[in-house]
């Protein structure tokens, strides 16, 4: 049976907004990886690794995995550290 991870994606480094980081994702792990001899790229014959399922809560993702007999593990999101900065601090040092 394939293994899946349930996680909450982080925000994009290219934007300051949190648009795509509200929902939880269930993503299957890639198995049977190899290198394509023609291009040299990483390849896999496992099509389940291309599937990403989106859920509004972690509990719904866990319920889906249990209902469909999917082995899963959870990656908890890290808390953001907000450092308050002041423009005036640039001139006080």
- What digits encode the pLDDT tens for the residues 57-88? 999 999 999 999 999 999 998 887 888 888 88
Report which of residues 1 and 62 the model is more confident about: 62
Domain presence at residue 26: yes
Count of the separate structural domains present in the chain? 1
Domain presence at residue 15: no
Domain presence at residue 38: no
Domain presence at residue 71: yes
**CATH code assigned at 50:** 3.30.160
Domain presence at residue 37: no
Range of the domain at 73: 3-9+20-32+43-92
Handedness of CA 6, 51, 23, 19 (dihedral sign): positive
Domain presence at residue 73: yes
Residue 53 token pair? 């399922």
- What digits encode the pLDDT tens for the residues 29-52? 877 778 888 888 887 777 787 889
């Amino acid at each position: 049976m394939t293994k899946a991870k349930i996680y909450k994606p982080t925000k994009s480094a290219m934007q300051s907004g949190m648009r795509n980081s509200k929902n939880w994702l269930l993503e299957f792990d890639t198995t049977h990886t190899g290198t394509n001899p023609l291009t040299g790229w990483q390849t896999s014959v496992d099509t389940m690794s291309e599937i990403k399922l989106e859920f509004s809560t972690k509990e719904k993702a866990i319920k889906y995995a249990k209902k469909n007999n999917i082995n899963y593990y959870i990656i908890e999101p890290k808390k953001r550290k907000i450092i308050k900065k002041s423009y005036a601090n640039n001139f006080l040092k």
